[in-house]
């Protein structure tokens, strides 16, 4: 197993760390493969109710794709690298549990694209975001043009991708890129509190919320509502639904089992 991605468990919460701090967690093929393998293991583990993705070290979530590794790529190799990143990020986006991005520093280029594949983001007040690929004569290749537009709107995405501008955490919050900005030293504790809260809820219900929100985002409202009704009905066949409603009526805390 590659050491470029570390994974630890805190109960039902999985903590996943990009681990190339000497390279500001730059994304190369080895790290992408390791991240994909880690996600596959977590997705197969029904005891995982939430995950947190962050970067090792104090400076970066991920400062971008590894430029040194890309320098000698041919067009065919570059396309294959782009497709690899897109496959891994899609697995992250479609994981059967929420993934919170804890953005502890630079999230630039490929790092910003990786952040965008998370369900939502909490950012350190020291975090920086941007798609500066045009400064290198290239463009986002890991899904950044598409996810950024869906997150902040097409006009803002065009501005950021065309200019290569880097924005701070407060501006990212104003744009709707991140959900919350917290003092740097409080980031992981704040995210942990939220992750544990999510993990304490009905795991199957949260998973269905994620699936329907994702699947319904780009289809007509009538189709999306049908997806919601189907998922709503499915949950009524679970033990967690019975436990949750019984606990509410009995004025006690529910004990969910993911069944």
- The CATH number covering residue 241 comes to 1.10.12.10
Q: If pLDDT is split at 50, 70 and 90, which confidence band does 221 have?
A: very high
Q: What is the DSSP string of 82-142?
A: HHHHHHHHHHHHT-SS-EEEEE-SEEETHHHHHHHTSSEEEEETT-EEE-GGGGGT----S
Q: Is residue 207 part of a domain?
A: yes
pTM of the model: 0.95
Mean pLDDT of the chain: 96
Burial label, 101 (beta-carbon count in 10 A; 0-12, 13-18, 19+): buried
- Same domain as 125, residue 93: yes
> Are 186 and 73 found together in one domain?
yes
Pair (33, 108) in one structural domain: yes
Q: Assess whether 100 and 62 both reside in one domain.
A: yes
**pLDDT (mean) for 57-69:** 92
* pLDDT per position as a tens digit, 95-109: 999 999 999 999 999
Question: Looking at the annotation, which residues are catalytic?
Answer: 113, 133
Q: Does residue 129 sit within a domain?
A: yes
* pLDDT attached to residue 1: 58
- For residue range 116-142, list pLDDT tens digits in order: 999 999 999 999 999 999 999 999 999
Structural domain for 118, as ranges? 5-199
Strand partners, 128: 106, 168
């Amino acid at each position: 197993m590659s050491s470029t991605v570390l994974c630890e468990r805190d109960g039902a919460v999985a903590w996943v760390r990009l681990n190339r701090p000497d390279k500001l967690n730059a994304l190369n093929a080895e790290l992408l493969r390791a991240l994909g393998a880690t996600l596959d293991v977590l997705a197969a583990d029904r005891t995982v109710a939430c995950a947190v993705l962050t970067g090792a070290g104090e400076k970066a979530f991920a400062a971008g794709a590894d430029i040194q590794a890309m320098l000698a790529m041919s067009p065919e190799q570059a396309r294959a690298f782009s497709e690899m990143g897109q496959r891994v990020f899609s697995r992250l986006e479609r994981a059967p549990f929420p993934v919170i991005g804890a953005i502890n520093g630079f999230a630039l280029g490929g790092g910003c694209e990786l952040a965008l594949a998370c369900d939502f983001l909490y950012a350190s007040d020291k975090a920086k975001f941007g798609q500066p690929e045009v400064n290198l004569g290239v463009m986002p290749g890991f899904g950044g043009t598409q996810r950024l537009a869906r997150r902040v709107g097409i006009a803002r995405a065009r501005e950021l991708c065309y200019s290569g501008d880097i924005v701070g955490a407060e501006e990212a919050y104003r744009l709707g890129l991140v959900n919350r900005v917290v003092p740097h030293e409080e980031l992981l504790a704040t995210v942990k509190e939220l992750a544990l809260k999510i993990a304490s809820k009905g795991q199957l219900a949260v998973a269905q919320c994620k699936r329907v929100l994702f699947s319904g985002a780009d289809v007509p409202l009538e189709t999306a509502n049908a997806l919601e009704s189907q998922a709503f009905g499915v949950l009524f066949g679970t033990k967690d639904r019975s436990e949750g409603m019984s606990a509410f009526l009995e004025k006690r805390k529910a004990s969910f089992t993911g069944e």
